[in-house]
Structure 1
Amino acid sequence: MSAVPPPPGPPPGVLPAPARRRRRLPLAVLATVLLLVLVGAGLAVVRPGPVAGWLGADRVAPEATADAAEPAPVPVLAGADPGAPAPTPDGVRAALDPLVRAPELGSRVNVSVADVADGGSLYARGGDDGTVPASVTKLATAVTVLAARGPSYRIPTRAVAGTNPGEVVLVGGGDPTLAVDGDGFYPGAARLDDLAQQVKHALGGTEPTKVTVDSSLFPGPVHGPGWDSDIPTGGFGAAITALMTDGARTDPEAARKNFDDMHGWAQRSAQPDLAAGGAFARLLGLSGDAAEVRRGRAPAANGAPAGTVTPGAELGRVESLPMIRLVDIMISDSDNVIAEALARQVALARNQPGSFAGGAAAMDAVIGELGLPADEITLSDASGLSRANRISPSLLTDLVTLAGNGSHPELAAIFGGLPVAAWSGTLDGRYQATGTTAGAGVVRAKTGTLTGVHAIAGLVTTRDGRLLTFAVLTDEAPAGTPDETRRALDRITSALAACGCR
């Protein structure tokens, strides 16, 4: 395949994160990856426990059996001291007040800092004010989908018999990571070539004659309200359909190889469901006019005995990676397409339409169910591409505290993908400037960036070993100074790392 041509420059609405080193782990390691569980006053780095079940311990990837045994994973972050002295509000205020007034942050800087041990507020500046969150929206997406679906849930993609002999209907269940074959973008993803083999076996002597795609699970607009005009045609978002392959990337191999250089940008299909259907038709051996696919609805199953090929009978099924892994990828790569797909899973779990509006309504409902202030979040999408989104900093610190205090163990899955300062993800190239190095290795956070919007939210361990959660959002940052604004944010979180704040 030819390489994806680079975009002419950063889209005006979305600023790329600094180039980052990709640390993809073999699936065998992912099955035993350490979970960061925040319990009480500290961060404990522990063995998986229920994570093995969430990941599907009984499912062994074919490639895992052929590789040499992987060494046992080791902790990369030290645990926090549960007996560490707590900072005081006055101490935190003295450390942060001069930094939040930095001109690089602009005229509206809203901040919340809290103690993970008890959730108590240590600092608030516009803490309850709705602010454009950009990609830190994905923290809310992660918490709500884990609460609604659970860490072990897998998204199915099915093939059923159509109304005509040999007709196969490919039914999208909303898995954005589905691959065509072994060269897909997301390691370990479900594959259409596996599904095609199941279909051929189920059809027996009947030759496939036609493929219809059913992507009706996601109704409504395919582009989000409040998206900048370049997003539908740019490479950081995509048309959101219930059936797609490789996050709608047209050349997943090139996108994978060029991820760092392109900051995650990739050419996307304008009609991902039809593109996936076309690939499936070719895998079934169809060509020419027979390989031309159209949208339609899968017929209802008529209750015939299993193995009988009648309209609506299931011919095959593949399932996505477990939700815990999808959340991990969404956060670590800041994957906008996965975020929008996961919001629709929240909607479906709460009997809402699988649409932008349905996802937003369902996420709001789940936040309320968790006992958090749902009136402090207003969403138009789940990725943070929309400028119509509003989230308060205090709600973000509430979400992190709830995920980390042990009351909802399933929510702790959000921490596995959080970038580590000066080490991974969108924080890889940060925390190296003067005044920021104290945060290196001890800040774990999700970042967000749109033109004029900069945000960071996550965790930091203080010099005394106390675990804090923070959210700093500015949505009126000066134009043309993104690097300076990021460094100003890093100075704030590094100040928390460096001080006892008592």
Structure 2
Amino acid sequence: MARETPQRGGRAGLIGAVVALVVALALAATTVFAGSEIVDTLSGKPKAHWRAGTTPPAPPPVLAAMDTQAPLPTQSGVSASLAPLLSAQALGPHITASVVDVSTGQSIFSSEQDAAMTPASTTKVVTAAAVLATRGPAYRIETRVVAGVQPGEVVIVAGGDPTLGVFPTSYYPGAARIDDLAVQVKKTLGDTAPTKVTYDVSVFSGSGIGPGWDPDATTGGSGAVITPLMTEGGRTKSTKYSDRYAQPDQQAAQAFAKALGVPANAVAAGTAPQGARELGKVESAPLARMVEFMLQESDNVLADALARQVALAKNQPASFEGATTAMKTVLQDLGLPVAGYGLVDGSGFSRNDRLSPALLTGILAMAARADRGELHAIFSGLPVAAYSGTLSTRYVKSQEGGSAAGLVRAKTGTLTGVNSLTGIVVDADGRTLAFAFMADQTTNGSQAVIALDRVAAALAACGCR
């Protein structure tokens, strides 16, 4: 299994390019908004953090009206520019592609655009669209504590938030914190000392390990067993690729017990009594912020947890199968092309996953529409070429697509033998285009990445008329 491991580039000269990108992305929608956390990221300022229970500042408009007068590229022009690059040996014998005009949804270039391909982490664009469409960008995941049967017994009831904070500085921006929850519970209990912690994880069902995951998926630092009660995505340390706990739910419950002063041997799995009195509650960051982080950092645990929120919203079992079934229903309801849909998880971790390039570009084109404001967090979450997230170390050399630094905004996808890239560019004439390129028989991952970056850079430089 390959993992996406770039670190922040920090090139000061890119600030101007990134600001230009924000302006250029104005062409994508009449009123698209990015939360102030993402605006701060693009301007080089520290990310903002929201404490649970607080309201994030109102998102300012950063994108202006679409320039409908920008000329539309011709299909022959785009084909002449991209086809030679897509035939690069590094991309292997099988690559599919879709390029659409964001304004009209018109296909500009395609190659097997409806083919069912292994998507890797570009899957997260689909998960983002499905969860934003069902839960909405302002939704917060609750973690509750209720009274147990006996005095002093408490039950922590998981809601599916994998970001609960326990480190001195939470890994996830704006995460709810275990210690805040413990303070509430002790205050509510008053003179009654807590004696036992039960953890109720019944909101999820089925296996916590996805079908088709590589053997190291939960131990290699890129993912964890998916449980509805987790701290810091199951991490043992506050680093992106930290080892993960083998039983994240049990560890989280023990962390909560420690904050209450309850010994670890007084922690057990169970269910909350019917109608039990609530002792405390914390809420996650708004869903839009979680989606942005998931896309920027390609966070697999967060992706699969959010996919289960789609299942819960659609009254499906909150399992891998229930989540992917619910996601397909949402996509169909949105009128998106699902002919190549065959997801088995929400992260793209599985080699059994299948998506088409047309579905990815369809989502991006829809997310740009002024009447789909609930999907706009997809744009503010996409990594920026040579600047942020999983693109922070890409597009930094001229021979590797460097001309498009700050001009490509895209989600990456990487597994051994699989390389994909989907996102948006504004071409040389000011036309906003959505693209998806997917190769599933690569033999040199690093060279395949460079080849894909060159294709996206060519699209950004293309007037193609």
TM-score, normalised relative to structure 1: 0.83
Distance 2:380 2:325 in 1: 26
1:196–1:359 distance in 2 versus 1, CA, 3 Å: same
AA at the equivalent of 2:253: G
User: What does residue 373 of structure 2 align with?
Assistant: 409
Select between 141-150 and 158-167 the one with higher mean Cα deviation: 158-167
Does the aligned pair in 1 maintain the 2:307–2:323 contact within 8 Å?
A: yes
User: What does residue 172 of structure 1 align with?
Assistant: 158
1:463–1:235 distance in 2 versus 1, CA, 3 Å: same
User: What does residue 114 of structure 1 align with?
Assistant: 100
User: What does residue 389 of structure 1 align with?
Assistant: 353
SS in 1 for 2:162: coil
Distance 1:235 1:229 in 2: 12
User: What does residue 422 of structure 1 align with?
Assistant: 386
Q: 1:206 aligns with which of 182, 192, 200?
A: 192
SS in 1 for 2:447: helix
Does the aligned pair in 1 maintain the 2:164–2:232 contact within 8 Å?
A: yes
Distance 2:127 2:50 in 1: 28
Does the aligned pair in 2 maintain the 1:37–1:46 contact within 8 Å?
A: no
1:219-298 → structure 2 map (5 Å cutoff): 219-252=205-238, 255=239, 264-287=240-263, 289=265, 292-298=266-272
Distance 1:485 1:175 in 2: 35
Deviations along 1:451-498, one digit per CA (max 9) or x if unpaired, are 0000000001100110000000001012xx222111110111111111
Does the aligned pair in 2 maintain the 1:111–1:472 contact within 8 Å?
A: yes
User: What does residue 120 of structure 2 align with?
Assistant: 134
1:491 and 2:465 are equivalent in the alignment: no
Distance 1:51 1:81 in 2: 27
AA at the equivalent of 2:257: A
1:417–1:490 distance in 2 versus 1, CA, 3 Å: same
SS in 2 for 1:114: strand
1:380–1:198 distance in 2 versus 1, CA, 3 Å: same
Does the aligned pair in 2 maintain the 1:344–1:355 contact within 8 Å?
A: yes
1:460–1:132 distance in 2 versus 1, CA, 3 Å: same
Q: 2:7 aligns with which of 19, 29, 34?
A: 19
1:10-89 → structure 2 map (5 Å cutoff): 13-21=1-9, 42=28, 61=51, 81-89=67-75
SS in 1 for 2:179: helix
User: What does residue 17 of structure 2 align with?
Assistant: none
What is the number of equivalent residue pairs in this alignment?
Answer: 442
Following superposition, which runs of at least 4 residues in structure 1 exceed 4 angstroms of deviation? Answer: 34-39, 43-52, 59-62, 72-75, 77-80
AA at the equivalent of 1:280: F
Does the aligned pair in 2 maintain the 1:223–1:240 contact within 8 Å?
A: yes
Does the aligned pair in 1 maintain the 2:218–2:244 contact within 8 Å?
A: no
Does the aligned pair in 1 maintain the 2:130–2:330 contact within 8 Å?
A: yes
1:462 and 2:427 are equivalent in the alignment: yes
Which runs of no fewer than 5 residues in structure 2 stay unpaired? 12-20, 39-48
Select between 486-495 and 151-160 the one with higher mean Cα deviation: 486-495
AA at the equivalent of 2:411: K
AA at the equivalent of 2:4: P
1:369–1:487 distance in 2 versus 1, CA, 3 Å: same
1:215–1:108 distance in 2 versus 1, CA, 3 Å: same
Distance 2:50 2:351 in 1: 42
SS in 1 for 2:398: coil
1:320 and 2:294 are equivalent in the alignment: no
Deviations along 1:207-246, one digit per CA (max 9) or x if unpaired, are 1110011111111101000101111222101010010100
Distance 1:346 1:91 in 2: 40
Q: Compute the displacement of 1:82 (Å).
A: 3.1
Does the aligned pair in 2 maintain the 1:179–1:246 contact within 8 Å?
A: yes
Q: Compute the displacement of 1:204 (Å).
A: 1.9
Distance 1:488 1:108 in 2: 14
Does the aligned pair in 2 maintain the 1:36–1:416 contact within 8 Å?
A: no
Q: Compute the displacement of 1:17 (Å).
A: 3.1
TM-score, normalised relative to structure 2: 0.89
Q: Compute the displacement of 1:44 (Å).
A: 6.1
Does the aligned pair in 2 maintain the 1:167–1:210 contact within 8 Å?
A: yes
AA at the equivalent of 1:453: V
Q: Compute the displacement of 1:382 (Å).
A: 0.5
Distance 1:457 1:347 in 2: 25
1:433–1:400 distance in 2 versus 1, CA, 3 Å: same
User: What does residue 409 of structure 2 align with?
Assistant: 444
Distance 1:427 1:498 in 2: 18
SS in 2 for 1:447: strand
Deviations along 1:88-109, one digit per CA (max 9) or x if unpaired, are 1111111111111110000110
Deviations along 1:137-177, one digit per CA (max 9) or x if unpaired, are 00000000000000000000000011122100011100111
> Percentage identity across aligned positions?
51
Does the aligned pair in 2 maintain the 1:152–1:323 contact within 8 Å?
A: yes
Distance 1:60 1:357 in 2: 33
1:363–1:95 distance in 2 versus 1, CA, 3 Å: same
SS in 2 for 1:434: helix
Deviations along 1:114-150, one digit per CA (max 9) or x if unpaired, are 0000000011111110100000000000000000000
SS in 1 for 2:376: helix
AA at the equivalent of 1:92: V
User: What does residue 14 of structure 2 align with?
Assistant: none
Does the aligned pair in 1 maintain the 2:141–2:283 contact within 8 Å?
A: yes
Q: Compute the displacement of 1:293 (Å).
A: 1.1
AA at the equivalent of 2:432: L
1:414–1:128 distance in 2 versus 1, CA, 3 Å: same
User: What does residue 341 of structure 2 align with?
Assistant: 377
Deviations along 1:274-333, one digit per CA (max 9) or x if unpaired, are 1011111111112364xx3111001111xxxxxxxxxx1111100000000000110001
1:334 and 2:298 are equivalent in the alignment: yes
Distance 2:246 2:300 in 1: 16
